[in-house]
Amino acid sequence: MRLPFRICCQQIIMFRLSRSVLAWALACLPLVAFDPPTGVPSYSEAGVVQLASLLPGPVAPNSLMAIFGKELAWVTVARSNDDETVNTLPLLLSGTGVMVSVNGLAAPIEMVSPEQVNFLIPANLLPGKAEVRLVMNGRAGPVVELDVVEAAPAIYTLEEGIALARHEDTFEWVDRARPAQPGEWIRLYVSGLGQTVPTLGYRELPRREAEIQLRDQLSLIVGDVELTGEWIAYAGIMPGFPGLYEIRFQMPEILEGDPAVIVRILEQSSQSGVRLVTLAEPPPVVEPVEPEPEDPESPEDPENPEAPEDPEPPEGPDEP
Residue of 182, 185, 190, 183 whose CA lies nearest to 164: 190
The predicted pLDDT at position 83 comes to: 75
| Mean pLDDT value across the chain | 85
Pairing label, strands 154-155, 225-227:
unpaired
Residue of 207, 206, 209, 231 whose CA lies nearest to 218: 231
The pLDDT confidence band at residue 46, using thresholds 50, 70 and 90, is very high
Q: What is the distance between the alpha carbons of residues 108 and 51, in angstroms, rounded to a whole number?
A: 14
The predicted pLDDT at position 31 comes to: 41
Q: What is the mean pLDDT of residues 265-275?
A: 96
Domain boundaries, the chain: 5-148, 154-269
Q: Is 185 exposed, middle or buried (0-12, 13-18, 19+ CB in 10 A)?
A: middle
Counting every residue, how long is the chain?
Answer: 320
Other Cβ atoms less than 10 A from the Cβ of 316: the count is 6
**Residue 197: strand pairing partners:** 211
Q: What is the mean pLDDT of residues 180-185?
A: 97
Q: What's the whole-model pTM score?
A: 0.79
Report CA Rg, the chain.
Answer: 32
The pLDDT confidence band at residue 22, using thresholds 50, 70 and 90, is very low
Q: What is the distance between the alpha carbons of residues 75 and 167, in angstroms, rounded to a whole number?
A: 37
Residue of 1, 271, 294 whose CA lies nearest to 261: 271
Q: Which of 141-150, 199-208, 239-248, 300-309 has the lowest mean pLDDT?
A: 300-309
The predicted pLDDT at position 6 comes to: 42
95-125 pLDDT, tens digit per residue, is 999 999 999 999 999 999 999 999 999 999 9
The predicted pLDDT at position 86 comes to: 85
282-311 pLDDT, tens digit per residue, is 556 667 777 776 665 655 555 555 555 555
Q: What is the distance between the alpha carbons of residues 266 and 262, in angstroms, rounded to a whole number?
A: 13
55-99 pLDDT, tens digit per residue, is 999 999 999 999 999 999 999 999 988 777 789 999 999 999 999
The predicted pLDDT at position 63 comes to: 97
Architecture of domain 5-148: Sandwich (2.60)
Give me the DSSP letters along 114-131. Answer: SSEEEEE--TTPPSEEEE
